Amino acid sequence: MRILIVDDHPMVIEGCRGMLSGQKDIEVLEAHDANEALDSYASAAPDVVVLDINLPGVSGFELLRRILKRDANAQIIVFTMNDDPVFAARAIEGGARGYVAKNEDPRVFIKAIRAVAAGERYLSNTLALKLAFADQSRASNPLDALNGREIEILRNLADGKDMTEIAHILKVSYKTVANNCILLKRKLGARSKADLLRIAVENKVAMKLA
């Protein structure tokens, strides 16, 4: 069984190799960004792809979309530090077959790979419970205070675009997008980039209707 690990941190890849070292029927391949991942997928035809959300250049969500565009039957697990159920829901809706947080027990990682390779879906019990009971409602619409450009940036963030991609799409400078993201964090009460992305994902449907 060939497993392609896509992560830009060598220590994470080595950690994955370590977790899988006792699995004699598994061969581990690696890629460090979206382009390498797409090339490896085309040349090696891995049975399962394990990818991080935060990749340089193109995000893991966009890479997920691109792989599935090439091969609708691709078996993909999102493997990330973020255990927010909103991100898990988005990954599954985007076509991922599994979602595993990096702070999970190593046995969960192996179990997820086995399950997805067998054609099943996989979420850990902890994450499944969070997803089942997540309250994603907000007391008021946080989009009301945003202007058109800010809505567009937030919509693109929710679609998995990074700031460089958004600048290209909107035909503005990277600095303009970065400054708008700072304003967005203030207006929406986001404490970090990850918090801003969470809000963007939570309000994705509302933005499509805006």
Q: If you average pLDDT over each of 8-17, 89-98, 192-201, which comes out highest?
A: 8-17
The per-residue pLDDT for 99 is 95
Q: How confident is the model at residue 50 (pLDDT cuts 50, 70, 90)?
A: very high
What confidence tens digit (pLDDT) does each residue in 58-116 have?
778 889 989 999 999 999 999 998 887 777 887 888 899 999 999 889 999 999 999 99
Instruction: List all residues 6 or more positions away from 102 whose beta carbon is below 8 Å from its beta carbon.
Output: 12, 79, 80, 81
Q: How confident is the model at residue 134 (pLDDT cuts 50, 70, 90)?
A: low
Helix, strand or coil, per DSSP, at residue 177: helix
Q: Is the pTM of this model over 0.75?
A: no
At residue 205, does pLDDT exceed 60?
Answer: no
Angle between helices 174-188 and 163-170 (to 10 degrees): 110
The per-residue pLDDT for 140 is 52
Mean pLDDT of 163-182: 91
Mean pLDDT of 20-36: 94
Residue scoring higher pLDDT (203 or 47): 47
Q: Which of 88, 75, 58, 71 is nearest to 160 (CA)?
A: 58
The per-residue pLDDT for 19 is 94
Q: Which of 138, 126, 122, 51 is nearest to 83 (CA)?
A: 126
* Angle CA 54–43–69, to nearest 5: 55
| Domains annotated on the chain, with CATH | 2-135 (3.40.50.2300), 142-203 (1.10.10.10)
The per-residue pLDDT for 107 is 92
The per-residue pLDDT for 174 is 93
The per-residue pLDDT for 46 is 97
Q: If you average pLDDT over each of 116-120, 171-175, 204-208, which comes out highest?
A: 116-120
Distance of CA 156 to the CA centre of its chain: 14
* Angle CA 144–138–91, to nearest 5: 100
